Amino acid sequence: MTKAEQETGTLSPSALIDVLEELAALVEDARPVFMSSDVRVERDAVLGLVDELRHGLPSAVERADETLEQARAELEDARRQSEEIIATARQRAMELVEREQVVAQAKARAADIVAEAQREADKLKVDADEYCDRRLAAFEDDLEALTAQVRAGRARLAERLEDAEGRAGWGEDESGRAQERGA
């Protein structure tokens, strides 16, 4: 964890993964309890890592929410601008028609203005949607990486538990409770 992350209480996705790795290493390196499938871990070390995760995950989710909210605001701003452009174009078109000019020229010009405004509005919408998609894709990638790390850590723990249960002669009954094999 960087000094800035410590001061602000936020964790980057890579820092969250590092904390999970440390937690997995603590469990993997823990000494087994004599005549038991349990292991002994340093409570303070584990609780410290859990505390880091407890403080870091909400800030990561909050940052993602802020990014999503910002993208939504930008999309809404783009939509508002496009509506203003279209309204202005229509107003301008109506003004052109109302003037004493050749009706055909006024209609053609009005159609051009509306079409150009629509193209600009469409471009703004596409740009805003692409920006939102890029931001959401980056957030999705971060979440997938974090999920993969969590799954890998849990898989390692499950293997260790199975190995420990096998060596100790213990298994699980149908309800998932530990019981001595053959009993």
By the 10 Å C-beta count (0-12 exposed, 13-18 middle, 19+ buried), 24 is classed as buried
Rounded CA separation 162/98 (Å) = 84
Does the reported pTM lie above 0.85?
A: no
Residue type, position 46, single letter: V
Structure-token pair, residue 172 = 């699980």
Q: What is the pLDDT along the chain (183 residues), one digit of tens a residue?
A: 455 455 555 667 788 788 888 888 888 888 888 888 788 888 888 888 888 888 777 777 777 788 889 999 999 999 999 999 999 998 988 887 777 776 778 788 889 999 999 999 999 999 988 998 898 888 899 899 899 999 999 999 999 999 888 777 655 666 666 566 555
Show me where the domains of the chain are located.
3-169
**How far is residue 3 CA from its own chain's centroid?**
23
